[in-house]
């Protein structure tokens, strides 16, 4: 690396244009939002700068706190499910024969390259009342019913009522897991790949079972990967807007939707700005935990 002072002109040429663009079309807009977050709503729905903390206070009112709490909770469940699904997935790939590792990894991240909107709405066709899942359940129900009739127990199963699977919290959680699973698998795989297998062998040789080895040896060794995957998935889930918008109902609104609402039908930009900054602060805190954790991991040699 060179010192910038050695060649100030070249340094300026390289770094200048991108900095200019990012300051003008990214930092400045964010700064405006920050200022707006201390403003208020004028009589015609315009934003007036009042330098008050009223919007932040409003965010702490019960109705809004409830939505924030629900977002934190939905994102938490989605992250937990991602971990439960992603851990065996990452382990299966990391312990696969060398020639299979990359193809398997590719299979996991391939769906992730298709459009977010399309990935989310593909679940509508699966979950709706006359969707693939309800059809599969109905088919199962009919087959069981047939078997029961054959065994001389007609009427036992009753008629099939399609389940209401769409436009509720569970649909949002399924969507979030689906969209963010690769973000969990990749860090988990990265740390599991580096894992020293001899520790696991030692544990098994010394008589511990597979479950005990998993919880007492593997999990502590891949902890940085777990933490990294969990935090990344959580950040992405809590800030999502599209998934609850498409798959959720009125009771599964998340912060993202509340923000979008302020810039849409409610037309209260000042309040939306405050919420948006609260979401960003939360993201920064999580990112900071992640960085601190990564540094600790380096220091202890994991």
Partner 1 sequence: MKAMKDAPLKKKRYGKLVNPLDYTRKGWMQTLLGINFFFLYFPIVALVAFSFNDSKRNIVWKGFTFKYYIKAYNNEALHSSFMNSITVASISTVVSTLLGTMLGLALYRYRFPFKPAYEGFAHLPIMIPEICMGIAMLVFFSLINMPLSLFTITVSHIAFTIPFVAVVIRARMSGFDTSYEEVSYDLGASQWQTFWNVTFPYLRPGVVAGALLAFTLSIDDFVITFFTAGIGSTTLPIKIYSMLRFSVTPEVNAASTVLIVLTLTLTILAMTIQARANKR
Binding to partner 1 in span 130-189, by CB under 8 A: 130, 132, 178, 181
CB contact set of 85 (below 8 Å; sequence gap of 6+): 177, 181, 184
Nearest to 31 by CA among 294, 293, 276: 276
Q: How far is the CB of 70 from partner 1 (least distance, A)?
A: 16
Q: Which of 50, 54, 64, 121 binds partner 1 (CB under 8 A)?
A: 121
Is 49 a binding residue for partner 1 by CB under 8 A? The answer is no
Strand-pair partners of 39:
49
Q: Which of 17, 42, 66, 220 binds partner 1 (CB under 8 A)?
A: 17
Which of residues 109 and 147 has its CB atom nearest to partner 1 in the complex? Answer: 109
Is 246 a binding residue for partner 1 by CB under 8 A? The answer is yes
Distance CA 8, CA 5 (A): 5
Is 292 a binding residue for partner 1 by CB under 8 A? The answer is no
Distance CA 230, CA 16 (A): 36
Which of residues 38 and 277 has its CB atom nearest to partner 1 in the complex? Answer: 277
Q: How far is the CB of 155 from partner 1 (least distance, A)?
A: 27
Q: Six-digit token pair at 169?
A: 């919290």
Which of residues 112 and 148 has its CB atom nearest to partner 1 in the complex? Answer: 112
CB contact set of 244 (below 8 Å; sequence gap of 6+): 74, 172, 175, 252, 253, 254, 256, 257
Which of residues 107 and 294 has its CB atom nearest to partner 1 in the complex? Answer: 107
Q: How far is the CB of 272 from partner 1 (least distance, A)?
A: 6
Would you say 49 and 145 are in contact if contact means Cβ atoms under 8 Å apart? Answer: no
């Amino acid at each position: 690396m060179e010192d910038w002072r050695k060649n100030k002109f070249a340094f300026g040429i390289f770094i200048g244009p991108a900095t200019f663009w990012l300051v003008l079309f990214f930092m400045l807009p964010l700064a405006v939002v920050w200022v707006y977050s201390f403003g208020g709503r004028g009589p015609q729905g315009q934003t007036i700068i009042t330098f008050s903390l009223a919007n932040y206070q409003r965010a702490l009112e019960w109705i809004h706190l409830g939505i924030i709490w629900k977002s934190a909770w939905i994102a938490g469940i989605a992250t937990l499910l991602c971990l439960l699904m992603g851990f065996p997935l990452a382990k299966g790939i990391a312990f696969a024969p060398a020639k299979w590792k990359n193809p398997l990894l590719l299979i996991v991240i391939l769906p992730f390259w298709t459009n977010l909107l399309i990935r989310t709405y593909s679940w509508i066709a699966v979950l709706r009342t006359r969707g693939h899942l309800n059809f599969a359940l109905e088919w199962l129900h009919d087959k069981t019913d047939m078997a029961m009739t054959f065994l001389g127990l007609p009427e036992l199963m009753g008629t099939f009522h399609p389940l209401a699977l769409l436009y509720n919290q569970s649909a949002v959680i399924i969507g979030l897991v689906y969209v963010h699973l690769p973000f969990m698998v990749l860090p988990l795989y990265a740390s599991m790949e580096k894992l020293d297998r001899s520790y696991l062998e030692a544990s098994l040789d010394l008589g511990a079972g597979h479950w005990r080895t998993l919880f007492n040896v593997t999990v502590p060794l891949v902890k940085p990967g777990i933490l990294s995957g969990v935090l990344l998935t959580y950040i992405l889930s809590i800030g999502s807007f599209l998934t609850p918008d498409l798959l959720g109902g009125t009771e599964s609104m998340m912060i993202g939707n509340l923000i979008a609402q302020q810039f849409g039908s409610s037309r209260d930009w000042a309040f939306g700005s405050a919420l948006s900054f609260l979401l960003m602060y939360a993201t920064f805190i999580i990112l900071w935990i992640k960085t601190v954790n990564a540094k600790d991991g380096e220091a202890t040699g994991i």
